[in-house]
Amino acid sequence: MAIALRIALVLITLGCVFLFVSHPLWFPAGVSAQARPLDHDFYVAFWVLGALFIAGQLVLVWVLAKRSTNQRSTRNWYGNGRLEIGWTVIIATIFLWFHLSGGQLWSRMMSPVKEAGQLHIEVTGAQFQWYFRYPGPDGVFGRTEPVKFAKPEEGNPLGIDPADPAGRDDIVSTTMVLPVGRLVQLHLRAQDVVHSLFIPAMRFKQDTVPGMEIHSHLMPTQVGTFEIACAELCGLGHYRMRALVRVVSEAEFEKWLNAQISAPGQP
């Protein structure tokens, strides 16, 4: 039994290592400015914790193998203060370093950035659909009042106030179209319940909370089409609350924007 248990633990450790080394699934390729530092942080964490995992399991195997003899010293029978303090300090140091190194990335990710020519997009989650609103040529979002004006069948799902001149040129799309290499300021809102905008390829996730407008930013670095999923349980259609991000060149983006202004509603 003793040997079987040790073999089992070794097998499990090897199995887990194999699983992560062969990794049938892994991160999608990172296509935003924060993907690279985040992936780097993840790999640091992955190697440190992976090493601790292997060490932990193997130490467990080792102590199970350690047989006692009759004339054992009983010095550490009830414990050992020095050892106790030693490993507490060591593990606290590792975790402290780990925490501080991770904290830097967090503060960089969350501190607001501004840039000339940045793009503003308002993201609204509604049950099982994402809407992306661009302010149009005037650069100002129109006033919304979903309870009064929202009529998805008439092309006004967000309830933009028809009386507000700033809202007349707003573009509402169900696809998020972004110019590559330009900073995007996101204004995240929700119409009914809590949703969460999750773009795995851009390593981006932020809840959208009704009654709040949350600000965040994003910088796409690669042209292509990527998927958006909802990451906060929002009801029956949570699993199919999907949208696309289309990252295009600057010229193509301008073309798309102009087409939208003349013929709204075409993605």
Partner 1 sequence: MPITSDRVEIERKPKLGGGGPGKIPHRRGFGGGDDGDHGGPEDFRSRRQRMRRYRLVMGLCLFSVTVVFVVLTFLYVLRLGTGRYDEDTRRQIQDWIPLKLPYLQLWTNSLVLLLSSFTLELARRSLARKEEFADMGIVPPRMKRDLPWLVTTVALGFLFLAGQVLVWQNLQHQGVFQATNPSRNYFYLLTGTHAVHLAGGLLALLYAAGGRLLALRFESQKIAVEVTGWYWHYLAFLWFCIFALVHFAKG
Partner 2 sequence: MQKASPIPTAPHTQGFLRRYIFTTDHKMIGRQYFFLSLAAVLVGAWLSLLMRIHIVWPKAALPFLGEIKPENYLAYLTMHGTLMVFFVLSMVPQNGFGTFFLPLQLGASEMAFPRLNMLGFSTALLSFFVLLAAFFAPGGPSGAGWTQYPPLSAIAAAGPGQALGTDLWLVSIGLFCLASIMSAINFVTTTLKRRAPGMTLMRMPLTCWAWFVTAVLILLAFGVLVAAVIMLMLDRHAGTSFFVPGGLLVSGKAVEHSGGSPLLWQHLFWFFGHPEVYIAILPAMGVTSHLLSTFARKPVFGYKAMVGATLAIGGLGFMVWGHHMFASGMDPHAGFAFSSLTTAIAVPSAVKTFNWVGTLYGGRIRYTTPLLFSVGFVSLFITGGLTGPLLAQPALDVYLHDTYFVVAHFHLIMAMAGLFAVFAATYFWFPKMFGRMLNERLGRLHFWLTLFGAYATFMPMHLLGIAGHPRRYSELTGVQYVTAMLPLQRFITLAAIVTLAAQLIFLINLFWSLRKGAAAEANPWRCTSLEWTLPSPAPKDGLTERNPFVSHGPYEYLPGAESDEDFVMQDAPAS
Among 88, 118, 174, 266, binds partner 2 (CB under 8 A): 88
Residue 139 or residue 210: which is nearer to partner 2 going by CB?
210
* CA gap 229, 240 in Å, rounded: 8
3-state SS assignment for residue 120: strand
* CA gap 247, 107 in Å, rounded: 26
What are the beta bridge partners of residue 184? 119, 218
DSSP-derived secondary structure letter, 265: T
Site for partner 1 in 26-85 (CB under 8 A): 74-75, 77-82, 84
Task: Draw the binding track, 141-160, toward partner 1 (x: CB under 8 A; -: no contact).
Answer: x-xxx---------------
Among 31, 218, 219, 230, binds partner 2 (CB under 8 A): 230
Task: Draw the binding track, 161-200, toward partner 1 (x: CB under 8 A; -: no contact).
Answer: ----------------------------------------
Residue 81 or residue 112: which is nearer to partner 1 going by CB?
81
* CA gap 265, 267 in Å, rounded: 6
143 binds, among partner 2, partner 1, none (CB under 5 to 8 A by kind): partner 1
Burial of 243 (0-12, 13-18, 19+ CB in 10 A): buried
Task: Draw the binding track, 117-156, toward partner 2 (x: CB under 8 A; -: no contact).
Answer: ---------xx-----------------xxx--x------
Virtual torsion, Cα 129, 124, 110, 183, nearest 10 deg: 90
Binding of partner 2 by 166 (CB under 8 A): no
